[in-house]
Amino acid sequence: MMIDERWLFYLAPLVFVVVIHLLLRRRSERKSLALLSEARASGLDEPTSLHPLIDPVLCIGCGACVRACPEGDVLGLIRGKSHLVAPSECIGHGACRAACPVGAITLVFGTERRGVELPHVGPDFQTNVPGLYIAGELGGMGLIRNAIEQGQQAMGEIAGRLKQGRRDRSLDADVIVVGAGPAGISASLAAKVAGLRAVTLEQEVLGGTVSHYPRGKLVMTAPAVLPGYGKMKFREVGKETLLDFWKEVIARVGLKIDYGERVEALERADHGFTVRTPVRTLRAAAVLLAIGRRGTPRRLDVPGEDLSKVVYRLIDPRQYAGRDVLVVGGGDSALEAAATLVEETDARVTLAYRGAGFARAKAKNRSRVDAAHAAGRLGLKMETEVRRIDPETVELERAGQVDRLANDTVIICAGGVLPTDFLRSVGVEIEIRRGR
């Protein structure tokens, strides 16, 4: 039986396209398997925030979710199904769920192996404590766009509740907003638009968690709308540009934020709540907590830690040029700080960690540290504890041996303390989410 040559003319390009498609798909799958294997080997195979749960029965392997993720190689196709191949890189955009044509993706908190502690928050952003609201990262929504939206939505709920009753003008404020990050700024602007008397407290500086990101870090991948101002039109923006934009917005609308006021106590009262800071006591009908999940740095509790040369985050590497710097910690923030100092300044940097290796850090940060150490630019002190910090030196101990280093600055990157005890003290219920 002879095959008409005309059929070959049409079939040949089709076969070529199919073969190329299969080869590219196989290469993509090998890359996804390598990423997943690397994540498991590094102990980074558990997501830390809101993340997609993919139903393999419903998934048709179209790859729409993979292409939709703005964070890069977070999702991948393996054996024709979508998988979360870089779990620790997922920050809960939700673009994957929106892109899935068959509804195979659900966004959840926590996993069966690793539960996530979250405060009980209702659909109106109110906790089980009447009048106490939570928005943004503390409630599990770390994405800037989502935090901005939650801040204004929560304030809308507060405004609606207060307008239903009789507002007590003898109070210091209708609502106290705690935190001046994305959720807190958005909520404060919404309060101004709604005509509420609001006091905004921030224990550090404008931007909350964003202000602590490394210099030049891209911090936003989706536009958002700010109450009383309008649309934030940029899709990708550096940390500094975003902070400058917020300063401009705050100046234009005349928003007042009280910086350097840490909330030391929050108590329920007949009028609503009493909030105590180091400088004053405030009374308000409602409180919105828009603070980070790790807003209070974890301390080493060693002599000398209260010296002014001790900090807990690297913000601007340039201020440490030419100095003797000790970075303490073994996670991504510590490795990023040490590598950035070496790469961008002439600081003499030592990285100290109590563990034997950096298993919990991302591969790219481990590579940066290894390269800096191999080049003789970064000193490594593994299985080492900080014992004492003095004005001009720091004392380290390893296997019973004490070493004293010249030192101008100590940067402690030991994580943060979850505010669960603070929340429980007010009566907020804490839930452990395991894939819900």
Radius of gyration of the chain (CA): 25
Q: What is the pLDDT of residue 169?
A: 85
Strand bridging mode 401-406 / 393-398:
antiparallel
10: tokens are 């049409």
- H/E stretch holding 8: helix 5-41
CA 224 to chain centre: 18
User: Which one of 3.30.300.30, 3.50.50.60, 3.20.20.150, 3.30.870.10 gives the CATH number of domain 117-295+418-433?
Assistant: 3.50.50.60
**Which residue in this structure is represented by tokens 């030592």?**
350
Q: What is the pLDDT of residue 221?
A: 58
Alpha-carbon dihedral of residues 296, 430, 182, 262, nearest 10 degrees? -40
430 touches 117 (CB < 8 A): yes
3-state DSSP call for residue 301?
coil
Q: Cα(291)–Cα(343) distance, rounded to whole angstroms?
A: 32
36 touches 28 (CB < 8 A): no
Residues of the chain with CATH 3.30.70.20: 14-108
Is 14-108 assigned to CATH 3.40.47.10?
no
Strands (E), 159-280: 173-178, 198-202, 218-220, 224-226, 230-232, 237-238, 258-259, 265-269, 272-276
Instruction: Tell me the residue type at 345.
Output: T
Cα–Cα distance list, 323 to 206, 305, 339, 368 (Å): 27, 18, 15, 20
What does pLDDT average to in each consecutive run of 10 residues of the chain (436 residues)? 62 72 75 76 71 90 86 83 83 82 87 78 92 86 79 94 83 94 92 94 78 63 78 74 85 90 91 93 95 77 93 87 95 91 95 86 86 95 95 94 95 83 88 76
* Helix, strand, coil share (%) of the chain residues, nearest 5: 35, 25, 40
Q: Among candidates 80, 209, 54, 82, which has minimal Cα distance to 142? A: 209
Q: What is the pLDDT of residue 23?
A: 72
Residues of the chain with CATH 3.50.50.60: 117-295+418-433, 310-414
Cβ partners under 8 Å of residue 26, min gap 6 = none
Q: Cα(326)–Cα(432) distance, rounded to whole angstroms?
A: 36
310-414: CATH number? 3.50.50.60
322 touches 346 (CB < 8 A): yes
Q: What is the pLDDT of residue 175?
A: 96
| pTM of the shown model | 0.73
Q: Cα(14)–Cα(383) distance, rounded to whole angstroms?
A: 59
- Name the H helices within 54-181: 64-68, 95-99, 144-164
Q: Among candidates 149, 151, 147, which has minimal Cα distance to 209? A: 147
Q: Cα(134)–Cα(289) distance, rounded to whole angstroms?
A: 5
Q: Cα(179)–Cα(177) distance, rounded to whole angstroms?
A: 6
